[in-house]
Amino acid sequence: DAGITQSPRHKVTETGTPVTLRCHQTENHRYMYWYRQDPGHGLRLIHYSYGVKDTDKGEVSDGYSVSRSKTEDFLLTLESATSSQTSVYFCATKLDGGSRLDTQYFGPGTRLTVL
């Protein structure tokens, strides 16, 4: 258990409202990731961070922004939520980028419903 928490765990919101999901880790891992998981698509990378204030886009970044002001926190923001962003969102962390054998550790997920 890499000590990853996500908040909130469940959220229902309406189309057009802003939403921020928080990921908090206690392991001092350098890399942090946001994924979304949808039936038939598996886990798809939204954004990732390789250090404080260092972030980059993943394969499905449109409509999402991220921020990392502290090593332990990685925020995912939906500026104006749409129904297509209804999904389960997972945060993950990785010790460093130096070895592919360092596993990614996943949080418990946030279930987001956009009505």
Partner 1 sequence: QKEVEQDPGPLSVPEGAIVSLNCTYSNSAFQYFMWYRQYSRKGPELLMYTYSSGNKEDGRFTAQVDKSSKYISLFIRDSQPSDSATYLCAISPNDYKLSFGAGTTVTVRA
47 contacts partner 1 (rule: CB under 8 A): no
**β-pair partners for 106:** 92
Q: H/E element holding 68?
A: strand 64-70
Candidate residues 60, 94, 112, 114; the one interacting with partner 1 per rule CB under 8 A: 94
Give the chain's length: 115
Select 84 or 103, whichever has its Cβ closest to partner 1: 103
d(CA 44, CA 98): 22
Q: Which of 8, 18, 51, 108 binds partner 1 (CB under 8 A)?
A: 108
Contact positions with partner 1 (CB under 8 A) in 62-91: 90
Interface stretch with partner 1, choices 11-19, 20-28, 63-71, 98-106 (CB under 8 A): 98-106
Token digits of residue 24? 């908090």
The number of beta carbons lying within 10 Å of the beta carbon of residue 114 is: 19
- 26 sits near partner 1 (criterion: CB under 8 A): no
